[in-house]
Structure 1
């Protein structure tokens, strides 16, 4: 039946953009340490093994707090949890400018992780509530791409500020960005039914186009029952492997270019942004293409699995970067690796809505999935730092990262079921209604 309510407003895309801007800023704030650490390490006398601990400490708090953060999002909503989280991580970033030793630095990294844990489950809930099924992968790619945009911006922005004013000023600038965004989110975000700028046609589109989420009338499973499902364990292991690979680029990548490939601050700021730029393009294109395949009648779960499996397999070329003699060739391989990995980024954001036992537990499953991924963010930098300390080289860390990417691809291919708790038919019905 054709609606007579006129053209739909497009507020949902503005919401996705605002959520994505938050993702950009979270990744700038968490990644500033990676660019600043070679200079902070000199000023604060931090040895390489402790540098790895500093890089990973954020992810310890992030991984632990993601579990209750997902539950809080289900109970309190994305507006409050994401907004208050933004205020918290902005304060932590600002305060990093004043650190005088390792203890205070580690404490603020923990606080940063607590605040930023609000981002992922909040964005997933916002996508579920604001977008019909056929647009959900594109929307997910839009906000998740913010992580790559943040990485691209961080290198030239932070390197430039450090060159002009020092690393302490860099933390002041990026912390202020977080506080401004948090205020904007709290003012602007509402659910579609309550948002003043959403017209009736857009509400109809959002509410009747179908959903690939678990049915709302399904009895709510207990939180611990999530772990009884094979799909939950597949998401845990698969996302661990995905993030182990991704967070090399967020943590040790700048140090690799400086220490192993001889990049100075200018080259780091310019050429170091290339892998992130490639990843921005591939992730956005992936989200768009996945939705096009689904609209044309392809099985949604198979499409999303196919993209993430193929991307992670290609991403394993990160291991080959250690074999090439030139810095340019190594950078090219790393760009291919990061770009291929992020082909699967939009898929990951849709999985919690598909595999949650109840639609009221989408945030909880998102928290579990992302918590597992950020255990990798905690362990990866420590493992890399320990191996570099023992061998004096990045060879083994890069080879290990490539192997873990392959394990992740096999996990999504073999262990993750081809049917979710919501049933694929719900997604296909939504496509058929277009």
Structure 2
């Protein structure tokens, strides 16, 4: 079982890493795209939001598809289509065409994220599921951290159009690797507290159904929490590189390095958050997340008031550290209360919150930055932290729920 989990974690980590590097390429290129097409901050934000709009609209349907079709098949096909539309990004000749391609890329990628979470749930036992998931999802901050170091030199040497074509090759390489080498799901076994699943992945009549997932209040509260956290993370990912380039006057390669440090911190915190939740906080969700969210709020205030690039980057690193410690308990609790056969749907609901925030933030911050300042734009992110704190107060696991989820069968 541990071998299955380890191989799965590695391959799914690499899959997510490819997606993140490809997505980050367009963000690093925003200043150049703005110059080429004569775009303002709101229009640049719309390029990022178009991708997340397509992603958000199809995340829940994508999760349902993962439950019906199978996570491995969705990921393999998705990587091929992702490569196709990433290449198309480099072929656009105008703003409207770029918006359309980015929207379609979001639609294509939407089913892949819940499929990755479902694949983790199918190939791990409950004892180390959150830790394994944290390792896989660490590809997000790690990819965002190394992407500037890879993408910025490529853009400088070849331009952003050709860079998109080169990044598309990564998806074509990973697709057959996932299809042929991702291990089979672990067999599900019966449990006195949880109905058994059939070997073909279909739930027994007593198991949780799609409608049960949609009516689960805990999932929607966790989704709202992730919405608030993603508001902050998307704001940083979208606008920090442009801020460092246009306000602090760093070169593109210097911006890439400065943007990478906080994301490397987030990667380590992501893994630590999963381990801490599995080890110490499985039944103490609020005790772990509320202090972390409050500390993130404090450092956001300090970041906005900072004067130097060094201070800005250090405070941003602290914010991402505490937000990463918070995001893993959200994922872990979702995997505890939603069984594997409908985990694609549950993950789709959860991730729809994150992607909805990703639609709103780039354009909203772009408008605030255009009419006021970058400081005001970063101040907007306090709303996300406040929402996450307030929503977390309503997250409760009853004693019988806690006992039940600990006895889920392997692979459930």
Same fold (TM over 0.5): yes
Deviation at 1:406, TM superposition (A): 2.9
Aligned residue pairs, count = 402
> Is the contact made by 2:4 and 2:183 (CA closer than 8 Å) also made in structure 1?
no
**Equivalent residue number for residue 328 of structure 1:** 310
Q: Which residue of 2 aligns with 1:200?
A: none
1:398 to 358, 378, 389: 378
Match in the other structure for 2:200: none
Shift of 1:110: 1.1
1:76-97 Cα distance to aligned partner (Å, 9 max, x none): 1110111111111111111111
**1:426 is matched with which residue: 389, 404, 412?**
404
Tell me the residue number matched to 2:296: 315
Aligned to 1:341: 323
Aligned to 1:410, which of 372, 387, 390?
A: 390
Counterparts of 1:327 and 1:211, CA distance in 2: 57
Query: 5+ unaligned residues in a row in structure 1: which ranges?
Result: 1-7, 194-202
Confirm or deny: 8 A CA contact 2:82 2:108 kept in the other structure.
Answer: yes
Query: In the alignment, is the contact (CA less than 8 A) between 1:230 and 1:415 conserved in 2?
Result: no
Aligned mates of 1:238, 1:14 — CA distance in 2: 31
2:242 counterpart residue number: 255
Partner deviation per Cα, 1:302-328 (whole Å, 9 max, x = no partner): 2x4433333322222223322111121
Give the drift of 1:334.
0.7
What is the rounded CA distance, in whole Å, between the counterparts of 2:2 and 2:407 in structure 1? Answer: 23
Note the 1:48-197 alignment, pairs <5 A.
Answer: 48-192=41-185
1:230 aligned partner: 217
Structure 2 contact 265–317 (Cα < 8 Å) conserved: yes
User: 1:319-369, CA deviations, whole angstroms, 9 ceiling, x for partnerless residues?
Assistant: 33221111211111111111211112322322333333x653221111011
Offset of 1:135 from its aligned partner? Answer: 0.6
Shift of the 74–253 alpha-carbon distance from structure 1 to 2, 3 Å rule, reads same
Q: Deviations over 1:397-424 (max 9, x none)?
A: 2112123213202312x1122249x821
Q: How does 1:194-213 map to 2 (within 5 A)?
A: none
Alignment equivalent of 2:351, drawn from 370, 375, 378: 370
Kept after mapping to 2: 8 A contact 1:49/1:385: yes
Aligned counterpart in structure 2 of residue 352 of structure 1, from 334, 351, 362: 334
**8 A contact 1:29–1:175 mirrored in 2:** yes
Question: How big is the shift at 1:146?
Answer: 0.5
C-alpha distance in 2 between matches for 1:156 and 1:50: 26
Instruction: Please tell me whether the aligned partners of residues 251 and 381 of structure 1 are also in contact (alpha carbons under 8 angstroms).
Output: yes
Question: Mean alpha-carbon deviation: is it higher for 215-224 or for 281-290?
Answer: 215-224
- TM-score normalised over the length of structure 1: 0.86
For residue 381 of structure 1, what is the aligned residue in structure 2?
Answer: 362
Q: Which runs of 5+ in 2 are unaligned?
A: 198-203
Contact 1:132 1:211 (8 Å CA) reproduced: no
Partner of 1:29: 22
Q: TM-score, normalised on structure 2?
A: 0.90
Higher alpha-carbon deviation: 399-408 or 81-90: 399-408
Which residue is 2:231 aligned to?
A: 244
SS of residue matched to 1:92:
helix
Bigger Cα displacement from structure 2, 142-151 vs 109-118: 109-118
Give the conservation status (yes or no) of the 8 Å contact 2:144–2:263.
yes
